[in-house]
């Protein structure tokens, strides 16, 4: 079977002809991020299936099951750690993948729909992580979900109803746990599998649309070359995840206790930026309007930015404005998370990271 | 070869090696080390036995569904049920046998605390980042006993019981609600203070109660000088004493005072009983007219007072008060100092004093404070304090290492030094010793506000008696406060002997004489019964009640056999004498006519004191009524009992009265 | 030389594939081992009952564990009290010297063999030994022949 590598799509220099490139080394490297994300998805599914053998989404049992995994189940701690670190890695790497696509302007015709699918996948990843975050039923799970469900509730008109249906009630209890479990274990993996398949297939077909002359002689055989390359990238991520699983235990706090609020209560790190944003003003504007506008804009990027030049390579000079804007967006997004993680203490007051917090 | 073709084998190999690393990290769990050590010890101890030692490596778990606990402690604590490991080092030491505490049924953590689900030492013993409920320190271990065994564990859990008793006696419940019991007032009422005490004394008392009376239960509120003056001013509102002169003779007063054996309850210069306050400086404290009232009828002033009504004549009281006014002055008190203190109080602010009195919660122990009523909770509710979450406890400015940041630690330090953690705390200081603080901490930790399933409970210990004598006898007991020192039917104090069988024990003429003028029965004891001015009708009522109610059939049924015993027979008496001195050596502990030992009661006038049936029964089983009796159980034959009884009853005092 | 390169490439590729197989095989094996629980939330199959002295001559039913403790002089045996048919708890009859199941009429002899009724198998006898603290230790994982007994 012959498959075409993405590099060769641009190898004939069709996109770059006549236009200077920024960095020879960077040129059109993808770092295999798409493949790495799929690898992470596979790792997550396999470890997730294994974890399900010993976990019951019951508020009386969930925390104890996590303790069992940690203490008495052979490889329980390892698989749990792998699962957690893969999840966090996936969020970061999906974001990086998306950034890479932007910097190389690979969202342009005919790839617009694929960009939208990609962003859907990013949102799915966040939802999967959020629902998974609740499952250990510890303090950070409980209070993280409290914050997130309250953010949802601040949406106009539908807010309260949204929170009610997400939690399956007015408080975070058994219903919320069961729903989170269902979403996390079945719904998101199904949707994501489907979307990933679509995303990958479209990637290939988009190539053919863009370059009709691709049915040429430049063929590379799948076996062993493609498989080797793909497996290598898989091994890289597997190695990193295994090292992380050996060295760092997945965090676990005390069992969920509705009568004891941690001071301060923080959302999961991937939503910490949103929580930080929220602290700047009224929830309506800062939790609903601004984030949704940003999201809408993100989805519509390929339909807004329709330039013809500079695609296919990193940081092409003709795209200076777009790149600067996007870099600003990334900086703000990451900056918000860092701010919320290290510079906020009790009552969400500003503290330098080295300042100690008063405990009462 | 392309880059990836070169790198692929390296990556694959690296993955494989890491996989080995994964397996290695998981397989070599810490508990296996302990199990290997145990197996080695087991092999050592089993050398010589025919069967090979069976030992299965792996986790051991006890799951109690009802208690909701999973305990894996036995994974490392392996010698628990094997008596051969009694002297082995931890974690292999045999579990001490505490009655039927089959830990197979209860698991471990219900009593010991800690994280049962964990299988590593740090996580199991705690505290860790996600598990603060660490193992209970040995000192506080008894706190879990009351969960299953109830609250009357005087013998079984002495530390817990002591803490429980102290919690009540020291008035903790005055400020802190705990286990649903009502607040009890432990201090005297504070009405008419201006007629009772001198202002400079009150100032000194508020500045440091233990300086005046070292055994007082009143804590030190650590007032500043001005605050003490203000509170004194507030309490001393109202007219002063009328200034009645108390004129009497100090000499007879002193005699009466000494004869009345006040030191049975009070201390004078530190020597005496623990029930009443120190008297050696009382003249610097109280006005003479108040002293008169107290001695005459303490119950009218404070209905819960433990002091009996002695029934002195007014003249005698005058003498006593005159003696005390002259002799029981505070000799260390500088007159200028006293005047300065009185002046401070006189210029103190009553409003500020009232504020302070409210803030410090005086009403928690004292009633009848002018203008201050019940004011709700003064301190936190302690009903579930034993399981309070650590994040709610403020260590304040003290730097506490993580491992010591536990609930028991906080409670212990708070009780020992209530204002240690930071400025502005208001709990007063009781100056508890380490033991006392440990006992109270144990009790506080036992307040968990939870119940175990009924099938796990086993109430133990003696429930307190609700005996409350009624009628004429009840009023006499109330007047003379007999139950402060004596016990009847389980209720009362342990200063003097148990009177529950007194009717079967003593002869009428002797007891009536004794009640009017109690003399020494046991030479060894320091406490002596004070001579009350018991009226004849009262004496008759007491005896009637004793003889009809405070009797035991075990002794009463011996009346018939005793009649046939011929206890006056001289031969039998001589036999008894031989047994007394030669065979059993009773004179080692008992005196007859000042010859003999001092351990037991004087037997000189036994023939007039004890009823023969009682002596017979007692010799038959000395520990029948007093389990702690020192008298040895000799398993005397009936003939020996007859002889000894005859001899003892025959002895007469060689001193003529 | 091109011939050398060829062999080395093959060798490295072979190593790579072997390591890959090892990794995935190892992960599968680890997952398989993972699936066997080390601790059970069930009543333990090995448990202690009372001291031997507390069991009188003859047959004693221990209701909490659904077993019978049988003492003949100083020999102790333990047999299951669960009928091998559908699982009802059987009863011992002193007069008729046999176990009887109230559900479908199965009867077992004193040795546990089926003498009447629909049960397909005889009653299992469990290994009993002495625990270090002197109590009887019953091991339901270990089935022993009915003749085997513990001497106390």
Q: Which domain holds residue C60?
A: 46-151
Q: Does B657 touch chain C (CB under 8 A)?
A: no
Q: Looking at chain B, which residue has its C-alpha nearest residue A67?
A: B117
The reply to whether residue A50 touches residue C39, judged by beta carbons under 8 angstroms, is no
Q: Give residue-wise pLDDT tens across range B31-69.
A: 999 999 999 988 888 877 766 677 889 999 999 888 889
- How large is the average pLDDT for residues A44-67? 96
Q: How far does C41 lie from chain B, in Å, by closest CA?
A: 6
Tell me if C136 sits within 8 A of C47, measured CB to CB.
Answer: no
The DSSP secondary-structure symbol of B268 reads: E
* Other Cβ atoms within 10 Å of A288 Cβ, number: 18
How confident is the model at residue A219, as a pLDDT? 58
Tell me if B365 sits within 8 A of B246, measured CB to CB.
Answer: no
List the structure tokens of C105. 């009429």
Together in a domain, C32 and C52 = no
The reply to whether residue B84 touches residue C132, judged by beta carbons under 8 angstroms, is yes
E strand or H helix that includes residue B555: helix B553-556
How confident is the model at residue C143, as a pLDDT? 92
Q: Select from C68, C50, C63, C53 the least CA-distant residue to B100.
A: C50
The reply to whether residue C19 touches residue B83, judged by beta carbons under 8 angstroms, is no
CA distance C146 to B599: 66
Is C4 part of any domain?
Answer: yes
Query: Residue written as tokens 């503290």?
Result: A351
Together in a domain, C20 and C64 = no
Q: Looking at chain B, which residue has its C-alpha nearest residue A360?
A: B394
Q: Does B104 touch chain C (CB under 8 A)?
A: yes
How confident is the model at residue A220, as a pLDDT? 60
CA distance A26 to A47: 34
How confident is the model at residue A218, as a pLDDT? 53
The DSSP secondary-structure symbol of B501 reads: T
pTM of the model: 0.85
Q: How far does C24 lie from chain A, in Å, by closest CA?
A: 11
Query: Residue written as tokens 């008063």?
Result: A358
For chain B, what is the mean pLDDT?
89
Q: Give residue-wise pLDDT tens across range B122-170.
A: 999 989 989 999 999 988 999 999 998 988 998 889 999 999 999 988 9
- How large is the average pLDDT for residues B483-502? 90
- Residues of chain A contacting C23 with CB distance shorter than 8 Å: 235, 238
Together in a domain, C5 and C72 = no
Q: Give residue-wise pLDDT tens across range B180-232.
A: 776 677 889 998 899 999 999 999 999 999 999 988 999 999 999 999 999 99
A9 — pLDDT class (breaks 50, 70, 90):
very low
List the Cα angle B309/B310/B311 in 5-degree steps.
Answer: 95
C4 — pLDDT class (breaks 50, 70, 90):
low
CA distance B382 to B359: 19
A354 — pLDDT class (breaks 50, 70, 90):
confident
CA distance C127 to C107: 23
Mutate to test the interface with A, among B24, B117, B422 (most CBs of A within 10 A): B117
What is the interface pTM, i.e. ipTM, of the complex? 0.83
Q: What is the biggest distance separating any 2 CA atoms in chain B, rounded to whole angstroms?
A: 129
Q: How far is CA B117 from CA A248, B67, B125, B450, in A?
A: 21, 14, 11, 21
Q: Does B15 touch chain C (CB under 8 A)?
A: yes
Q: Give residue-wise pLDDT tens across range B542-555.
A: 999 999 999 999 99
Together in a domain, C32 and C69 = no
Q: Select from B483, B525, B456, B507 the least CA-distant residue to B610.
A: B507
The reply to whether residue A232 touches residue B21, judged by beta carbons under 8 angstroms, is no
Together in a domain, C24 and C50 = no
* Other Cβ atoms within 10 Å of B530 Cβ, number: 17
Report, in angstroms and rounded to the nearest whole number, the Rg of chain C calculated over CA atoms: 27
- Residues of chain C contacting B9 with CB distance shorter than 8 Å: 12-13, 15-16, 19
The reply to whether residue B15 touches residue C9, judged by beta carbons under 8 angstroms, is no
C69 — pLDDT class (breaks 50, 70, 90):
very high
How confident is the model at residue A13, as a pLDDT? 47
B494 — pLDDT class (breaks 50, 70, 90):
confident
E strand or H helix that includes residue B585: none
Q: How far is CA B527 from CA B120, B309, B492, in A?
A: 57, 18, 16
- Statement: residue B308 has pLDDT above 90: yes
CA distance B85 to B74: 14
- Residues of chain A contacting B15 with CB distance shorter than 8 Å: 235, 238-239, 242
The reply to whether residue A73 touches residue C34, judged by beta carbons under 8 angstroms, is yes
C5 — pLDDT class (breaks 50, 70, 90):
low
Q: How far does A230 lie from chain B, in Å, by closest CA?
A: 9
List the Cα angle A158/A160/A164 in 5-degree steps.
Answer: 110
The residues near B86 (Cβ < 8 Å, ≥ 6 apart) are B93, B94
CA distance B314 to B138: 57
- Statement: residue B7 has pLDDT above 90: no
Query: Residue written as tokens 């506490």?
Result: B400
CA distance A34 to B335: 94
Together in a domain, C8 and C80 = no
Q: Mind giving me the DSSP string for A78-108?
A: HHHHHHHHHHHHHHHHHHHHHHHHHHTTTTS
Report, in angstroms and rounded to the nearest whole number, the Rg of chain B calculated over CA atoms: 34
List the Cα angle A39/A45/A48 in 5-degree steps.
Answer: 135
- Residues of chain C contacting B15 with CB distance shorter than 8 Å: 19-20, 23
User: Of all residues in chain B, what percent carry a pLDDT higher than 70?
Assistant: 98
Domain tally for chain C?
2
- How large is the average pLDDT for residues A174-202? 96
- How large is the average pLDDT for residues A282-304? 90
| Most confidently modeled range among A348-352, B435-439, C40-44 | B435-439
* Other Cβ atoms within 10 Å of B364 Cβ, number: 23
The reply to whether residue A231 touches residue C34, judged by beta carbons under 8 angstroms, is no
Q: How far is CA B85 from CA B31, B32, B39, B78, C133, in A?
A: 19, 19, 12, 9, 11
Together in a domain, C5 and C74 = no
> Backbone phi, then psi, for C67, in 5-degree steps?
-135, 165
* CATH node for A26-267: 1.20.810.10
Together in a domain, C74 and C121 = yes
Which residue from C17, C27, C132 is facing B19, i.e. has the nearest CB?
C27
The reply to whether residue A68 touches residue C39, judged by beta carbons under 8 angstroms, is yes
A359 — pLDDT class (breaks 50, 70, 90):
low
Which residue from C16, C33, C38 is facing A72, i.e. has the nearest CB?
C38
Q: What is the CATH number of the domain that holds C128?
A: 2.102.10.10
Q: Give residue-wise pLDDT tens across range B79-91.
A: 888 888 888 898 9
**Where do the domains of chain A lie?**
26-267
- Statement: residue B646 has pLDDT above 80: yes
Is C41 part of any domain?
Answer: no
**SS3 for B71?**
strand
How confident is the model at residue C100, as a pLDDT? 93
List the structure tokens of C69. 């403790």
**SS3 for A173?**
coil
The reply to whether residue A75 touches residue C34, judged by beta carbons under 8 angstroms, is yes
HEC string of B291-340 equals HHHHHHCHHHHCCCCCCCCCCCCHHHHHHHHHHHHHHCCCCCCCHHHHHH
Tell me if B200 sits within 8 A of B338, measured CB to CB.
Answer: yes
Chain pair A-B, CB pairs under 8 angstroms = 81
Q: Does B396 touch chain C (CB under 8 A)?
A: no
| Most confidently modeled range among A181-185, A204-208, C8-12 | A181-185
What are the beta bridge partners of residue B591? B596
- Statement: residue A299 has pLDDT above 60: yes
Q: Does B59 touch chain C (CB under 8 A)?
A: yes
How confident is the model at residue B180, as a pLDDT? 72
- How large is the average pLDDT for residues C122-144? 91
Chain pair B-C, CB pairs under 8 angstroms = 60
- Residues of chain A contacting C33 with CB distance shorter than 8 Å: 74-75
- Statement: residue A29 has pLDDT above 80: no
Is C15 part of any domain?
Answer: yes
Together in a domain, C52 and C124 = yes
Domains of chain B: 30-135 (no CATH), 158-177+378-456 (2.60.40.420), 193-364 (1.10.760.10), 471-551 (1.10.760.10), 555-650 (1.10.760.10)
E strand or H helix that includes residue A191: helix A188-210
The reply to whether residue A50 touches residue C34, judged by beta carbons under 8 angstroms, is yes
Q: How far is CA A47 from CA A69, A78, A83, B27, C34, in A?
A: 12, 9, 6, 19, 11
The reply to whether residue A232 touches residue B18, judged by beta carbons under 8 angstroms, is no
CA distance B80 to B101: 12
Together in a domain, C70 and C4 = no
The reply to whether residue C23 touches residue B9, judged by beta carbons under 8 angstroms, is no
How confident is the model at residue A2, as a pLDDT? 45
A1 — pLDDT class (breaks 50, 70, 90):
very low
Is the omega angle on the peptide bond into residue C43 within 30 degrees of 0, that is, cis?
no
Half-sphere exposure of residue B478: CA atoms within 13 angstroms, side-chain side: 13
- Residues of chain C contacting B11 with CB distance shorter than 8 Å: 16
A→C contacts (Cβ < 8 Å), by residue, are 46, 50, 53-54, 68, 72-76, 78-79, 224, 228, 231, 235, 238
Q: Give residue-wise pLDDT tens across range A212-231.
A: 555 544 556 666 677 888 88
- How large is the average pLDDT for residues A121-147? 96
Please, which residues 72-131 of chain B have a Cβ atom closer than 8 Å to chain A? 72, 117-120, 123, 129-131
How confident is the model at residue B64, as a pLDDT? 87
List the structure tokens of C55. 């069991």
The residues near B600 (Cβ < 8 Å, ≥ 6 apart) are B522, B589, B590, B630, B631
For chain C, what is the mean pLDDT?
89
Together in a domain, C11 and C79 = no
The reply to whether residue A239 touches residue B7, judged by beta carbons under 8 angstroms, is no
Q: Give residue-wise pLDDT tens across range B323-366.
A: 999 989 888 888 899 999 999 999 999 999 999 998 888 888 89
Together in a domain, C140 and C103 = yes
CA distance B96 to B103: 11
User: Of all residues in chain B, what percent carry a pLDDT higher than 90?
Assistant: 46
How confident is the model at residue B375, as a pLDDT? 67
Q: Select from C139, C148, C116 the least CA-distant residue to C46.
A: C139
**SS3 for C125?**
strand
């Amino acid at each position: 079977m012959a498959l075409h590598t993405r590099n060769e799509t641009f190898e004939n220099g069709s996109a770059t002809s006549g236009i200077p490139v920024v960095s020879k080394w960077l040129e059109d490297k993808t770092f295999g991020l798409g493949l790495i994300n799929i690898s992470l998805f596979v790792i997550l599914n396999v470890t997730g299936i294994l974890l399900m053998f010993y976990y019951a989404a019951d508020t009386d049992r969930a925390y104890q099951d996590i303790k069992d995994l940690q203490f008495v189940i052979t490889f329980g701690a390892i698989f749990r750690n792998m699962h957690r670190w893969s999840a966090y890695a996936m969020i970061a790497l999906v974001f990086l993948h998306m950034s890479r696509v932007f910097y190389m302007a690979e969202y342009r015709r005919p790839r617009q729909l694929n960009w939208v699918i990609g962003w859907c996948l990013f949102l799915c990843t966040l939802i999967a992580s959020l629902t998974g975050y609740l499952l250990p039923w510890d303090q950070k799970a409980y209070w993280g979900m409290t914050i997130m469900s309250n953010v949802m509730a601040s949406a106009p008109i539908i807010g309260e109803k949204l929170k009610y249906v997400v939690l399956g009630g007015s408080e975070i209890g058994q219903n919320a746990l069961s729903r989170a479990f269902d979403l996390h274990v079945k719904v998101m993996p199904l949707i994501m599998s489907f979307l990933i398949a679509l995303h990958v297939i479209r990637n290939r077909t988009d190539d053919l649309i863009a370059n009709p002359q691709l049915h040429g002689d430049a063929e590379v055989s799948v076996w062993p070359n493609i498989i080797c390359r793909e497996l290598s990238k898989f091994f890289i991520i597997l190695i990193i995840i295994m090292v992380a699983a050996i060295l760092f235990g997945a965090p676990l706090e005390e069992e969920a206790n509705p009568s004891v609020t941690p001071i301060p209560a923080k959302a999961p790190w991937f939503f910490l930026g949103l929580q930080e944003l929220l602290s700047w003003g009224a929830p309506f504007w800062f939790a609903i309007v601004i984030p949704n506008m940003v999201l809408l804009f993100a989805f519509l990027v390929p339909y807004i930015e329709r330039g013809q030049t500079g695609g296919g390579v990193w940081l092409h000079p003709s795209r200076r404005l777009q790149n600067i804007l996007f870099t600003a967006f990334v900086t703000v997004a990451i900056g918000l998370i860092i701010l919320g993680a290290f510079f906020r203490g009790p009552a969400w007051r500003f503290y330098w990271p080295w300042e100690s917090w008063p405990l009462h | 070869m392309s880059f990836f073709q070169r790198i692929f084998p390296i990556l694959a190999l690296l993955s494989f090696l890491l996989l080995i690393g994964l397996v290695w990290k998981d397989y070599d769990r810490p508990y296996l080390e302990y199990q290997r050590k145990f197996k080695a010890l087991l092999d050592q101890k089993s050398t010589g036995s025919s069967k090979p030692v069976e030992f299965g490596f792996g986790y051991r778990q006890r799951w109690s569904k009802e208690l909701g606990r999973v305990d894996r402690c036995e994974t490392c604590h392996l010698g628990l049920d094997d008596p051969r490991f009694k002297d082995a080092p931890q974690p292999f030491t045999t579990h001490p046998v505490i009655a039927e505490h089959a830990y197979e049924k209860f698991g471990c953590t219900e009593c010991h605390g800690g994280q049962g689900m964990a299988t590593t030492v740090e996580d199991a013993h705690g505290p860790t980042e996600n598990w603060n409920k660490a193992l209970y320190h040995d000192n506080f271990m008894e706190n879990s006993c009351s969960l299953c065994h109830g609250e009357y564990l005087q013998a079984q859990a002495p530390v817990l019981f002591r803490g429980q008793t102290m919690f009540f006696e020291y008035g903790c419940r005055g400020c802190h609600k705990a286990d649903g019991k009502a607040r009890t007032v432990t201090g005297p009422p504070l009405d008419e203070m201006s007629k009772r005490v001198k202002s400079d004394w009150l100032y000194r008392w508020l500045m440091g109660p233990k300086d005046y009376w070292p055994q007082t239960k009143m804590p030190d509120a650590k007032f500043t000088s001005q605050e003490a003056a203000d509170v004194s001013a507030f309490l001393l509102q109202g007219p002063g004493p009328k200034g009645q002169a108390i004129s009497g003779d100090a000499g007879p007063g002193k005699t009466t005072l000494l004869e009345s054996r006040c030191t049975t309850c009070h201390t004078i210069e530190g020597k005496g009983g623990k029930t009443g306050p120190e008297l050696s400086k009382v003249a610097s404290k109280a006005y003479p007219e108040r002293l008169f009232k107290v001695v005459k009828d303490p119950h009218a002033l404070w209905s819960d007072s433990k002091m009996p009504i002695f029934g002195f004549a007014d003249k005698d009281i005058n003498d006593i008060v005159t003696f005390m006014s002259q002799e029981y002055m505070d000799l260390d008190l500088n007159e200028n100092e006293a005047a300065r203190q009185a002046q401070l109080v006189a210029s103190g602010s009553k409003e500020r004093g009232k504020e302070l009195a409210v803030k410090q919660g005086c009403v928690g122990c004292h009633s009848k404070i002018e203008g201050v009523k019940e004011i709700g909770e003064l301190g936190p509710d302690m009903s579930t304090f034993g399981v309070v979450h650590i994040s709610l406890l403020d260590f304040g400015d003290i730097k506490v290492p993580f491992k010591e940041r536990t609930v028991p630690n906080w409670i212990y330090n708070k009780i020992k030094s209530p204002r240690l953690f930071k400025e502005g705390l208001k709990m007063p200081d009781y100056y508890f010793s380490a033991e006392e603080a440990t006992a109270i901490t144990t009790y506080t930790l036992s307040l968990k506000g939870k119940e175990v399933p009924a099938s796990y409970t086993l109430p133990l210990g003696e429930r307190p008696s609700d005996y409350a004598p009624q009628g004429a006898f009840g009023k006499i007991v109330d007047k003379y406060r007999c139950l402060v020192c004596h016990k009847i039917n389980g209720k009362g104090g342990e200063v003097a002997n148990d009177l529950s069988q007194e009717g079967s024990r003593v002869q009428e003429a002797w007891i009536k004489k004794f009640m009017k003028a109690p003399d020494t029965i046991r030479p060894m004891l320091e406490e002596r019964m004070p001579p009350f001015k018991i009226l004849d009708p009262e004496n008759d009522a007491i005896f009637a009640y004793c003889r009809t109610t405070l009797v035991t059939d075990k002794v009463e049924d011996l009346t018939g056999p005793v009649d046939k015993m011929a206890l006056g027979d001289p031969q039998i008496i001589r036999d008894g004498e031989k047994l007394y001195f030669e065979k059993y050596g009773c004179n080692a502990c008992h005196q007859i006519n000042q010859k003999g030992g001092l351990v037991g009661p004087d037997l000189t006038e036994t023939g007039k004191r004890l009823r023969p049936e009682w002596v017979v029964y007692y010799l038959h089983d000395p520990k029948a009524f007093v389990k702690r009796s020192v008298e040895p159980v000799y398993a005397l034959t009936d003939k020996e009992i007859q002889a000894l009884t005859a001899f003892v009853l025959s002895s007469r005092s060689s001193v003529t009265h | 030389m091109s011939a050398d390169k060829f062999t080395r490439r093959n060798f490295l590729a072979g190593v790579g594939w072997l390591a890959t197989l090892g990794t995935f095989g190892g992960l599968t094996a680890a997952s398989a081992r993972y699936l066997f629980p080390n601790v059970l939330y069930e009543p333990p199959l090995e448990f202690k009952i009372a001291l031997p002295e507390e069991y009188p001559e003859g047959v004693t039913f221990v209701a909490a564990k659904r077993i019978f403790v049988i003492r003949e002089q100083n020999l102790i045996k333990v047999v299951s009290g669960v009928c091998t048919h559908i699982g009802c708890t059987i009863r011992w009859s002193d007069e008729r010297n046999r176990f009887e199941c109230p559900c479908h009429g199965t009867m077992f002899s004193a040795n546990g063999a089926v003498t009447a009724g629909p049960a397909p198998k005889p009653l299992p006898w469990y290994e009993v030994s002495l625990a270090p603290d002197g109590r009887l230790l019953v091991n339901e994982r270990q089935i022993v022949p009915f003749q085997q007994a513990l001497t106390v």
